[in-house]
């Protein structure tokens, strides 16, 4: 009996840790700490570089990186274990999962997308079943996160005709040569859409359409339709880059705005971005609980 | 034999020390114990993390008419409630075994009834909403009389809350107060401002009875059989009463058995329909 309980408990903890691993990655676990407010302020005070045609130059790496020689610290520098990293009430991974699941859903009403009432039940269903076969979060299945869920790029490469937004496993092309979106009958239905950009002063305004309607706006079940239209605004001030997005979708009562994010340019001219591990979904069939956070 | 007796006494003392004391009168400790015993305090920072809740139940109801008269008892086939403490709001959808389905909503300082559909009246062609602005205070009272609501309201009252002991139980008495919005609570009390609320706690500091006298009537909610009523693979360690009895002037108006909850801060929004906004 004891053995069965022990095996069951280990299984539960492994399942919880497996689910939690995405969370650890999302928190930037193992990466350098984010820049301080003082560093951000100093970076913003630098001159904003311009391209020969007069528009701001967004080229650069917009995350802090670790040098090749630097050792990656243990999960917890004192104990080397996950226990203190999983910030639950007790350090118990089950408590971590439940605390995280409750806490991460503390999203003020004004910051949630306001779905039309006929879709409320589906959002709730998606939220409850986001880590089950019934309504899996596409991000959990290793699908591209979609726009704007994908957020700010790690790196930007800019030419006069286009900007390449580079993310850990994806890239987007933003055409800034004056072209428009293709007519709707030519849309392909994609995860990251078709993006065109134009300048409003020093702000790059990116319009993205042509989605497949499978991507979610956020992990608590916020699904979308293929007619989603996203407007992103990016502004470089000195060595900082600020991003925010607004989503319109026929599923929503009103446009939904993301929170504003600001990143600092990586000042290291030798900075390199490590190749990320591939995303391979192997957990869904083994998860025995709908708790997630 | 004497050794066994000594061991038993020692064990009893240890258990008594381990269990919370039901006669605690330190205000901060009582507030903490109330929130902690319901599972509201989460993460190592112990933040109040209960913002929205869904409840499913069944039982009996007596409808209260606009004049305040209490009607006959009716079987409740299903009761579905959405609670949001952050704006605050409550949607109460009752399907009777015989009689009409009613959907009563309060959201901030607006109240209305939805006809046929949840969210009716928000979109043209999708249900409708009838303003019920005279019900704002009574419906807000429902929110603050829930166990989580009572804890949040007591904490908002701060040092206006008095802690006493009655019949061996800790009792918290305080006036309902307005307070600036916080992450998981916004104390909107409207006409209830200053109304005294009396919360009698059980041995584990969970609200066992909440009593309010408002507009000359006495509202009492009694709660029992607390547990995590989320589904078995969706437990959250947040505790709600499985049984609730609400009375007005001693007459039972709701006798509810809660079948299921979702305490993982589910998606609950209650935008005010345009027709209701115009009614003010």
Q: What is the pLDDT of residues A168-217, one digit of tens each?
A: 999 999 999 999 999 999 999 999 999 999 999 999 999 999 999 999 99
Residue B253 in any domain: the answer is: yes
Which pairs with CB-CB distance under 8 Å and at least 24 residues apart come from B239-246?
A: B239/B37, B239/B38, B239/B39, B239/B206, B240/B38, B240/B53, B240/B55, B240/B147, B241/B147, B241/B206, B245/B221, B246/B219, B246/B220, B246/B221, B246/B222
Residue spans of beta strands (DSSP E) within B87-239? 89-96, 102-107, 110-115, 128-131, 162-166, 169-175, 196-201, 207-214, 217-227
Note whether B26 contacts A: Cβ–Cβ < 8 A: no
Determine the Cα–Cα distance for residues B142 and B136; give it in Å rounded to an integer. Answer: 10
Determine the Cα–Cα distance for residues B25 and B198; give it in Å rounded to an integer. Answer: 15
Determine the Cα–Cα distance for residues A13 and A36; give it in Å rounded to an integer. Answer: 35
What pLDDT sits at residue A87? 59
On chain A, the residues whose CB falls within 8 A of the CB of B46 are 89
Number of domains in chain B: 1
- B65-93: buried (b, 16+ CB within 10 Å) or exposed (e) per residue? eeeeeeeeebebeebbbbbbbbbbbbbbb
Count CB-CB contacts under 10 A for residue A8.
11
Residue B14 in any domain: the answer is: no
- The mean predicted confidence, pLDDT, of chain A is 85
Whole domain around residue B169: which residue ranges? Answer: 23-271
- Chain A contacts in chain B segment 151-210 (CB below 8 A): 183-184
Measured between CA atoms, how close is A287 to chain B, in angstroms? 10
Sign of CA dihedral A114, A119, A121, A122: negative
What pLDDT sits at residue A74? 58
**Given an 8 Å threshold on Cβ–Cβ distance, is A109 in contact with B120?**
no
CA-nearest residue of chain A to B121? Answer: A117
What pLDDT sits at residue A284? 84
On chain A, the residues whose CB falls within 8 A of the CB of B265 are 102, 105-107
Note whether B238 contacts A: Cβ–Cβ < 8 A: yes
**Given an 8 Å threshold on Cβ–Cβ distance, is B264 in contact with A102?**
yes
- Closest to A288 (Cα-Cα) out of A18, A6, A45, A5: A18
User: In the block, which residue shows the tokens 């007069």?
Assistant: A54
Residue B276 in any domain: the answer is: no
Phi-psi region at B250: left, alpha or beta (left = phi > 0; alpha = psi -120 to 50): left
Pairwise pLDDT comparison (B27 vs B25), residue with the higher score: B27
- Closest to A232 (Cα-Cα) out of A180, A196, A190: A196
Residue B9 in any domain: the answer is: no
Residue B222 in any domain: the answer is: yes
Longest Cα–Cα distance of chain A, Å, equals: 75
Residue B71 in any domain: the answer is: yes
**Given an 8 Å threshold on Cβ–Cβ distance, is A128 in contact with B44?**
no
**Given an 8 Å threshold on Cβ–Cβ distance, is A124 in contact with B262?**
yes
Residue spans of beta strands (DSSP E) within B146-185? 162-166, 169-175
User: Which of A89, A98, A253 lies nearest to residue B122, judging by beta carbons?
Assistant: A253
Cα–chain center distance at B224: 13
- Model confidence at A99, pLDDT cuts 50, 70, 90, reads very high
Note whether A108 contacts B: Cβ–Cβ < 8 A: yes
On the question of pLDDT at A24 being above 60, the answer is no
Q: Which whole-number Å values give the CA distances from A114 to A217, A254, A276, B265, B268, in the listed order?
A: 12, 7, 34, 16, 10
Give the DSSP H or E segment for B256: strand B251-262
What pLDDT sits at residue A132? 87
On the question of pLDDT at A20 being above 50, the answer is no
Note whether B37 contacts A: Cβ–Cβ < 8 A: no
**Given an 8 Å threshold on Cβ–Cβ distance, is B269 in contact with A102?**
no
Determine the Cα–Cα distance for residues B146 and A212; give it in Å rounded to an integer. Answer: 43
On chain A, the residues whose CB falls within 8 A of the CB of B234 are 128, 289-291
Count CB-CB contacts under 10 A for residue B12.
10
**Token code pair at residue A122:** 């589906």
> What φ, ψ does residue A102 adopt, rounded to 5°?
-75, -50
- Closest to B22 (Cα-Cα) out of B235, B172, B212: B172
Measured between CA atoms, how close is A79 to chain B, in angstroms? 18
Measured between CA atoms, how close is B228 to chain A, in angstroms? 12
pLDDT, mean of residues A77-87: 58
Pairwise pLDDT comparison (B25 vs A220), residue with the higher score: A220
- Inter-chain Cβ pairs, chain A and chain B, closer than 8 A: 100
User: In the block, which residue shows the tokens 């350098």?
Assistant: A32
- The mean predicted confidence, pLDDT, of chain B is 93
What pLDDT sits at residue B224? 98
On chain A, the residues whose CB falls within 8 A of the CB of B268 are 109
Alpha-carbon dihedral A195, A198, A199, A204, rounded to 10 degrees: -10
Give the DSSP H or E segment for A100: helix A93-103
Note whether A179 contacts B: Cβ–Cβ < 8 A: no
Determine the Cα–Cα distance for residues A177 and A188; give it in Å rounded to an integer. Answer: 21
On chain A, the residues whose CB falls within 8 A of the CB of B238 are 102
What pLDDT sits at residue B68? 84
Residues of chain A above pLDDT 70, percent: 82
Q: Hey, is A288 helix, strand or coil?
A: coil
- Model confidence at B23, pLDDT cuts 50, 70, 90, reads low
On the question of pLDDT at A23 being above 50, the answer is no
- Closest to A128 (Cα-Cα) out of B267, B38, B238, B91: B267
**Given an 8 Å threshold on Cβ–Cβ distance, is A289 in contact with B183?**
no
On the question of pLDDT at B9 being above 70, the answer is no
**B273 touches B124 (CB < 8 A):** no
Residue B1 in any domain: the answer is: no
On chain B, the residues whose CB falls within 8 A of the CB of A221 are 267
Determine the Cα–Cα distance for residues B171 and B34; give it in Å rounded to an integer. Answer: 11
Note whether B84 contacts A: Cβ–Cβ < 8 A: yes
What pLDDT sits at residue A3? 37
What pLDDT sits at residue A26? 36
Q: Write the CATH number for B185.
A: 2.50.20.10
- Closest to B103 (Cα-Cα) out of B93, B111, B112, B95: B93
Note whether A290 contacts B: Cβ–Cβ < 8 A: yes
Q: Predicted ipTM? A: 0.90
Residues 6 or more apart whose CB falls under 8 angstroms from that of B171 comprise B163, B164, B165, B198, B199, B200, B201
User: Which of B117, B118, B236 lies nearest to residue A102, judging by beta carbons?
Assistant: B236
On the question of pLDDT at A7 being above 50, the answer is no
What pLDDT sits at residue A86? 59
On chain A, the residues whose CB falls within 8 A of the CB of B41 are 89
On the question of pLDDT at A17 being above 50, the answer is no
For the segment A262-284, what is each residue's pLDDT rounded down to a tens digit?
Answer: 999 998 889 999 888 999 988 88
**Token code pair at residue A249:** 């979708």
Give the DSSP H or E segment for A9: helix A2-26
Of the listed ranges A28-42, A133-147, B64-78, B179-193, the least confidently predicted one is A28-42
Pairing of strands B102-107, B110-115: antiparallel
For the segment A242-262, what is each residue's pLDDT rounded down to a tens digit?
Answer: 999 999 999 999 999 999 999
**Given an 8 Å threshold on Cβ–Cβ distance, is B233 in contact with A288?**
yes
Residue B35 in any domain: the answer is: yes
On the question of pLDDT at B271 being above 90, the answer is yes
**Given an 8 Å threshold on Cβ–Cβ distance, is B264 in contact with A127?**
yes
Determine the Cα–Cα distance for residues B34 and B32; give it in Å rounded to an integer. Answer: 5
**B242 touches B227 (CB < 8 A):** yes
Q: Hey, is A290 helix, strand or coil?
A: coil
- Closest to B56 (Cα-Cα) out of B86, B24, B79: B79
């Amino acid at each position: 009996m004891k053995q069965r309980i022990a095996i069951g408990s280990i299984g539960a903890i492994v399942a919880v840790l497996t689910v939690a691993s995405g969370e650890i990655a999302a928190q930037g676990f193992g990466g350098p700490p984010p820049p301080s407010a003082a560093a951000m302020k100093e970076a913003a005070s630098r001159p904003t570089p311009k391209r020969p045609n007069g528009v701001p130059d967004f080229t650069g790496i917009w995350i802090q990186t670790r040098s090749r020689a630097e050792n990656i610290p243990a999960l917890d520098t004192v104990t080397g274990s996950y226990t203190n990293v999983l910030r639950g009430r007790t350090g118990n991974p089950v408590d971590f999962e439940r605390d995280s699941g409750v806490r991460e859903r503390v999203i003020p009403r004004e910051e949630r997308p306001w779905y039309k009432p006929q879709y409320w039940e589906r959002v709730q269903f998606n939220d409850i079943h986001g880590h089950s076969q019934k309504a899996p979060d596409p991000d959990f299945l290793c699908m591209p996160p979609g726009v704007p869920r994908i957020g700010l790029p790690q790196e930007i490469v800019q030419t006069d005709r286009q900007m390449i937004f580079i993310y850990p496993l994806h890239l987007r092309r933003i055409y800034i040569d004056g072209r428009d979106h293709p007519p709707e009958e030519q849309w392909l239905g994609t995860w990251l859409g078709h993006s065109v950009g134009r300048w409003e002063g020093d702000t790059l305004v990116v319009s993205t359409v042509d989605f497949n309607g499978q991507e979610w706006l956020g992990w608590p079940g916020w699904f979308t339709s293929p007619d989603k239209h996203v407007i992103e605004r990016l502004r470089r001030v000195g060595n900082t880059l600020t991003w925010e997005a607004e989503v319109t979708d026929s599923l929503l009562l009103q446009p939904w705005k993301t929170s504003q994010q600001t990143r600092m340019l990586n000042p290291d001219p030798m900075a390199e971005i490590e190749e990320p591990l591939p995303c391979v979904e192997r957990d869904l069939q083994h998860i025995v609980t709908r708790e997630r956070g | 034999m004497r050794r066994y007796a000594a061991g038993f006494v020692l064990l009893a003392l240890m258990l008594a020390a381990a269990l919370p004391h039901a006669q605690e009168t330190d205000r901060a400790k009582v507030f903490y114990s109330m929130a902690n015993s319901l599972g509201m305090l989460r993460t190592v920072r112990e933040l109040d993390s209960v913002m929205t809740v869904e409840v499913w139940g069944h039982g009996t109801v007596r409808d209260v008419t606009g004049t305040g008269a209490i009607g006959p008892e009716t079987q409740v086939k299903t009761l579905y409630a959405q609670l949001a403490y952050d704006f605050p709001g409550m949607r109460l959808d009752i399907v009777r075994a015989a009689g009409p389905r009613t959907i009563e909503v309060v959201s901030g300082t607006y109240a209305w009834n939805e006809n046929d559909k949840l969210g009716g009246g928000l979109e043209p062609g999708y249900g409708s909403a009838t303003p019920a602005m005279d019900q704002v205070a009574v419906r807000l009272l429902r929110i603050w009389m829930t166990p989580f609501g009572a804890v949040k309201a007591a904490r908002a009252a701060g040092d206006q809350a008095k802690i006493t002991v009655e019949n061996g139980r800790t009792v918290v008495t305080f006036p309902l107060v307005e307070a600036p919005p916080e992450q998981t609570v916004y104390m909107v009390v409207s006409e209830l401002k200053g109304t005294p609320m009396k919360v009698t706690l059980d041995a584990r500091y969970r609200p066992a009875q909440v009593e309010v006298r408002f507009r000359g009537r006495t509202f009492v909610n009694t709660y029992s059989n607390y547990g995590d009523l989320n589904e078995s693979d969706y437990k959250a360690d947040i505790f709600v009463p499985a049984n609730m009895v609400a009375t007005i002037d001693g007459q039972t108006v709701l006798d509810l058995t809660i079948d299921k909850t979702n305490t993982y801060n589910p998606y609950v929004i209650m935008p005010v329909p345009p027709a209701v906004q115009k009614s003010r």
